[in-house]
Amino acid sequence: MLRSFLISLSQNNTMRGIMERSAPGRRLSSRFVAGLTVEDALRVTRDLNAQGFAVTADALGESVRSEAEALAAADIYHRLLDGITTAGMNANVSLKLTGVGMDVSPELAERTTGDIVAHAAHVGNFVRIDMEGTPYTEATIALTERLAQQYPGAVGTVLQAYLYRTADDTARLLRQGIRIRLCKGAYKEAGDVAFPAKSDVDANYVKLMQTMLPSGVFCGIATHDPAMVQATEQFAAQNNIPRSAFEFQMLYGVKRELQRELVRKGYGVRIYLPFGTDWYPYFMRRLAERPANVIFLLRNLVSN
């Protein structure tokens, strides 16, 4: 019930305006968001690299409504790629198609995303096209496939274990050598497209992980669930899968001790690092994924 309530709040524009304008709201968000600017993102990336983490930086901003907004959002990614390259950082970028024009027109999103992927390929970097709700699932996968043909190794996408279709999508992308980030899923979906029970999502996550790790395609195992982490470690050990074949991916500010522990064990860990002024929908979805974070954040507000 709390998860559904928090997801509904993530879509509430009135609450979004209040939170994004208020000092307490910005202070609470800093747990999960690196800052407001490209410079903030690069500064935090440098700090995370020094601690042994790789990074994927995401400029927050969903559902731009004009070509000008889409081009401005895309420019942020070009600046990020240049900053990462100049500094020699261990980092790549993640983007959402709605953030670079998908709701204006699919053609605009393909053009902006294609330009970013071309830039990444030119400097030897990588772009992760994030997955959004199911209205965008097929379009996201298909665009990733087209760009992967043009720029092999420079683009991948995300699959969500709570969707029934994901087993087929996994096989489809692995056949083409396209890198996948596997996550559980953070959007509210209908029962006819997504597993309603957490136990079923977990079981599907493990099944998909066991398909990805031996595939020969480098994949990201995105989870903060200790049970999923343990299942991945055990499967890799039992099947002699080297740690260089995959990496764990985790959100900035979530389960930080677990992140450090995995680095100490010698696993690759990539931190998903969001930044930008449009942080509220992302922030609320993070709370919905783990409602216990609400208690932590309320305590943080009182203590500050």
Neighbours of 295 (CB within 10 A): 9
Full DSSP string of 22-47: SHHHHHHHTTT---SSHHHHHHHHHH
Per the annotation, the verdict on 130 as an active-site residue is yes
Exactly one of 16, 181, 285, 286 is catalytic; name it. 181
- In angstroms, the Cα distances linking 228 to 134, 199, 242 are 24, 12, 18
CA distance 236 to 243: 8
SS (HEC) of 249-272: EEECCCCHHHHHHHHHHCCCEEEE
CA distance 273 to 47: 12
Q: Which of 230, 219, 179, 223 is nearest to 198 (CA)?
A: 223
Provide the pairing of β-strand 155-160 with 180-183. parallel
- Identify each DSSP E strand in 91-175 by its residue range: 91-95, 127-129, 155-160
Exactly one of 16, 58, 128, 130 is catalytic; name it. 130
In the block, residue with structure tokens 């330009």: 115
Active site residues: 130, 181
